[in-house]
Chains A and B, each alone.
Chain A
Amino acid sequence: MTFRLRPGKKGVELRLHELEAAIMHVVWGRKLTSFTVGDVLAVLERQRDIAYTTVMTTTARLHEKGLLNRQRDGRRYLYSPRLTREQFLESTAREVLDKAIGGRQAMAMLAEKVSEASAHELDDLQALIQKRRDELEERKL
């Protein structure tokens, strides 16, 4: 999933919606390395009136966006951050820079970079190419 830059926002909020950013602030601020939805909810509840399902949905979305790792622990999920705040801000700066260099609008790219989640599919493609190369070389021999 790609992030959209949100005009008029700064820092983490440049790429995340308000609640997503609030959750990440909790995770990074309290240096949570492994947490459940309930852990985040307990902190957020002190700041606002918020439902468990809202936090659960938003946390799942952060996982889909590649910001949180997730693993099943019985009937619940345990989450952990994939990036530090600094790494996330660095990648945001990179994205802004990419846009300044030129987006797809007027630039023909050999290939757009894919998300890290798709890296294993690239490995498959690479293996497919190598296989064809080997086949062709075998035929030559």
Chain B
Amino acid sequence: MSEATFPLLGTAIVFLVVLPACALSVKICLLAAERTPGPLHNLTLRYLLLTGSSVLPLAWLVSAGLHQAESGKSAIACLLDHGAAGSCLESGYFALALGLATLASCLRAQHRSGLVRASGPENEQSLRQRIDRVILGFPALAVLKGRVLVTSDQSFAIGTLGLLRPRVVIGAHFADLISDEMLASAFAHEVAHVRALDPLRYWVLQLALAINPAGRFLLDAHADRWFAAREAHCDREAVIHGASPLSLANAIVSAARPRAQLAVALGPSDLSSLRFRVELLLAFAERAPTRRSTRGPSAFAVALALLLITLILPHQTSTKPLDALHAGAEHTVSYLSH
């Protein structure tokens, strides 16, 4: 039996069995979490479940593998005789293989999605002046000062991009179609994305789903519902900060409008999430939303805490699941080879 058995077979088992099993468990939890009244509830929990199902098992296994390689404890589960040394580096190689496979999955997902770059801004002086005037006239938009890029791409409406320093990109064509009040409301929506670092949040979620072979199959629908709920949450935040709900609803509908010549079948036909957002905003026009008194913890803070705990855990407690994986992989090969 080769010393490559566990690193290679173990990695394959993690990707083909462990991660899909985690995705399945998380799907069951998400079905329960989504049943709670109000689609905007449990957003943080749902995000943590969606990303954690891939990230946390991988982080634990890599950390446990490195720990066992350092301490030499991996020999306990190893079928190979390592002689007097009493240790083997298989767990280290396993952690390396797992890390490389994860990295490859991330790069593949990143390559497929395209690099995130702001399109070159077109210095249209009058539009810039109008944007500055709208931002100055609306105190809640102050955070956008110097963070708005203009693109001449006619198919583009408005969005937020940039992982660590989000910026708002607006299409000159879209800006021409909407009133100042709609523009201010749309910016207020984007401010909610900017403040919450949503592009980074979306990116991590998409990578987590891409790493897990069953992620797309099992969790994509839940991720879509989360994205829709997140957008509705930002609508709500915009209204709380003073945006006109009806103008925001108008801006959303304008942004979704296809361009006559280019948009044939380019976009989704399912308007359910768009309709939900518009109906929510129509309700806000009747009764303004209020901020909930008990706000949940930030998803980033909880995610980082969980990741830290996951990384430290194998060094403080047992690594029995890794031993089982190690022994299981080697026993499988041993059984098959006989």
Contact = CB atoms under 8 A, between A and B. Distances in A.
Contact of A128 (B117, B277, B282): B282
A2 B274 CA distance: 17
Contact of A111 (B117, B119, B255): B255
B9 interface: no
Interface string B52-84: 000000000000000000000000000000000
Given A2-B265, A112-B267, A105 B109 contact: yes
A58 B33 CA distance: 40
A101 B170 CA distance: 12
A94 B231 contact: no
Contact of A108 (B118, B160, B282): B160
B43 to A, nearest CB: 14
Interface string B98-121: 000000000001100111111100
A49 B275 CA distance: 46
B155 A94 contact: yes
A99 B159 CA distance: 14
Contact of A115 (B159, B202, B269): B269
Contact of A113 (B110, B249, B257): B257
A109 B158 contact: yes
Contacts of A87: 261-262, 264
Q: Classify chain B's interface size.
A: 35 or more
Interface string B200-244: 101100100000000000000000000100110010000000000
Contacts of B138: none
B116 A106 contact: yes
Q: Classify chain A's interface size.
A: 35 or more
A102 B258 contact: no
Interface string B113-154: 111111100000000000000000000000000000001010
B265 A3 contact: yes
A90 interface: yes
Nearest to A95: B266
A100 B269 contact: no
A97 B153 contact: yes
A118 interface: yes
Contacts of A112: 256, 267-268
Given A118-B271, A136-B285, 4 more contacts: A94-B155, A105-B116, A105-B203, A125-B253
8 contacts: A97-B153, A100-B115, A106-B200, A110-B157, A111-B255, A115-B268, A118-B269, A126-B253
Q: Considering the complex of A and B, which 9 residue pairs feature the smallest CB-CB distances, nearest first?
A: A66-B265, A105-B113, A113-B267, A106-B203, A111-B256, A109-B159, A108-B193, A102-B116, A111-B255
